[in-house]
C-alpha cells in the first residue's frame, strides 16, 4: 500500500509512517512530495494521503494525525497512547501535553536542519521511534534519578492536603489524582497534566478546566509549584541540605528558577527564609 504526504517531514509526518509500518502495513511505501502535488499524486499513484487539510487522515480538534491513525485502526496499546501525547505536544507546540515533547521536537528540528533528504530523515526517524516505543512500553515509569540515596531524603508533607475538604464530596478522579501527586512527592515531581489525564482516562481539557475546583482554586501547574515550595520549606526547616540540593530535590531545573518561584510564593528568597528560621530557633532555645 502507498501512503503520501507533504515533503520536509519533521514530527507527525515521520511518526505516522513509523506507526503505519510497525502496526498497520509493514510493507508500506511512504511518498513525500510538494504540498501542492499531494492530492494529484495520490490519485495518480493510488496512494492514501495523510496529514493534509481536507483528507481523512489529518488533525481533528486538538488531536494530530498520529492520534487519528491510532483511533481509525483501533490500536489498543498503552505505549502508543504515551507516544501519541508526546507527538501531539511536539507537533502542536503544546509541550504541557508531555514533558518529552520538547525533546522530540528539538531532535527532529535538528535532524531536518542537517538533511534535506526526506527518506533519510524517515530512516533515522524509524530508529528513533523504535527507541521511543521501547521506552514507552518498558521504561516510562522509571526516572533518571530514581531510587538514588538523595531521593530517599525527601520528606512527606502532603498529609494536610489529603485532609483538606475531608467532608466535601469530590469526584473519584480528584481522589485518584491526589494519590498520583503524592506518589510523585518522593521523586522530582515530574507529573504532567497529560500524564495525569492518561492515567485517569479523562480528557486533558476537561481535567484542566475542573482541576481548580478541587485543588485550592489553583491551576494544575500552580498547584504543583505550590507543592514544590511546600516541600522546599520543609527541607529548609528540617535538613542541612544546601539550597542547590533542595532546588534539585523539589524538581526545579536551576537555582534561579527555584529562587524566583520561592520568592513569588513566600515573599522572600530561600536564603533569607533559612536565616530567619535559624534565628527563630536560636531565639527559642535561648
Domains and CATH numbers, the chain: 2-139 (no CATH), 151-285 (1.10.10.60)
Place of cell 530535590: 249
pLDDT for position 179: 57
Helix 78-91 to helix 193-200 angle (10° resolution) is 150
pLDDT for position 164: 46
pLDDT for position 255: 77
pLDDT for position 197: 76
If you ran DSSP here, which 8-state letter would residue 4 be given?
A: E
60 three-class SS: strand
Query: What is d(CA 124, CA 112) in angstroms, rounded to the nearest whole number?
Result: 11
| Nearest alpha carbon to residue 70 among 79, 62, 61 | 79
At residue 126's C-alpha, the angle toward residues 122 and 127, to 5°, is: 125
At residue 253's C-alpha, the angle toward residues 248 and 83, to 5°, is: 110
pLDDT for position 146: 43
6-30: pLDDT as tens digits: 999 989 999 999 999 999 999 999 9
If you ran DSSP here, which 8-state letter would residue 171 be given?
A: -
Local confidence pLDDT in tens for the 286 residues of the chain: 999 999 999 899 999 999 999 999 999 999 999 999 999 999 999 999 999 989 999 999 888 999 999 999 999 999 999 999 999 988 888 877 888 888 888 888 888 888 889 999 999 999 999 999 998 888 776 654 443 333 333 333 333 333 444 455 666 666 666 655 554 543 444 567 777 777 777 787 888 888 888 888 888 878 888 888 888 899 899 888 888 888 877 877 667 878 888 998 899 999 999 998 888 776 666 5
44-85: pLDDT as tens digits: 999 999 999 899 999 998 889 999 999 999 999 999 999 999
Beta-ladder partners of 95: none
Q: What is the pTM of this model?
A: 0.53
Query: What is d(CA 208, CA 192) in angstroms, rounded to the nearest whole number?
Result: 11
Question: What cell was used for 93?
Answer: 507546540
Cβ–Cβ < 8 Å for 5, 38: yes
Amino acid at each position: 500500500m502507498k501512503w503520501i504526504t507533504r515533503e520536509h517531514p519533521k514530527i507527525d509526518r515521520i511518526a505516522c509512517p513509523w506507526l503505519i509500518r510497525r502496526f498497520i502495513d509493514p510493507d508500506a511505501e511512504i511518498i513525500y512530495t510538494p504540498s501542492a502535488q499531494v492530492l494529484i499524486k495520490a490519485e495518480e499513484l493510488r496512494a492514501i494521503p495523510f496529514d493534509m487539510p481536507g483528507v481523512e487522515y489529518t488533525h481533528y480538534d486538538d488531536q494530530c494525525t498520529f492520534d487519528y491513525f491510532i483511533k481509525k485502526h483501533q490500536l489498543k496499546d498503552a505505549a502508543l497512547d504515551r507516544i501519541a501525547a508526546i507527538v501531539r505536544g511536539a507537533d502542536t507546540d503544546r509541550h504541557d501535553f508531555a514533558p518529552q515533547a520538547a525533546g522530540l521536537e528539538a531532535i527532529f528540528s535538528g535532524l531536518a536542519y542537517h538533511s534535506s533528504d526526506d527518506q533519510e530523515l524517515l530512516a533515522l526517524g524509524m530508529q528513533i521511534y523504535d527507541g521511543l516505543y521501547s521506552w514507552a512500553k518498558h521504561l516510562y515509569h522509571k526516572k533518571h534519578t530514581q531510587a538514588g540515596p538523595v531521593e530517599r531524603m525527601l520528606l512527606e508533607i502532603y498529609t494536610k492536603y489529603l485532609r483538606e475538604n475531608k467532608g466535601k464530596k469530590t469526584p473519584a478522579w480528584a481522589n485518584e489524582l491526589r494519590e498520583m501527586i503524592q506518589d510523585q512527592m518522593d521523586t522530582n515531581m515530574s507529573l504532567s497534566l497529560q500524564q495525569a489525564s492518561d492515567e485517569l482516562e479523562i480528557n486533558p481539557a476537561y481535567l484542566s478546566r475542573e482541576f481548580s475546583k478541587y485543588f485550592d482554586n489553583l491551576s494544575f501547574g500552580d498547584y504543583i509549584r505550590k507543592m514544590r515550595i511546600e516541600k522546599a520549606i520543609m527541607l529548609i526547616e528540617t535538613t542541612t541540605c544546601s539550597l542547590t540540593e533542595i532546588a534539585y530535590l523539589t524538581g526545579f531545573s536551576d537555582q534561579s528558577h527555584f529562587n524566583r518561584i520561592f520568592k513569588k510564593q513566600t515573599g522572600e528568597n530561600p536564603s533569607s527564609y533559612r536565616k530567619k528560621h535559624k534565628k527563630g530557633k536560636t531565639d527559642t532555645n535561648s
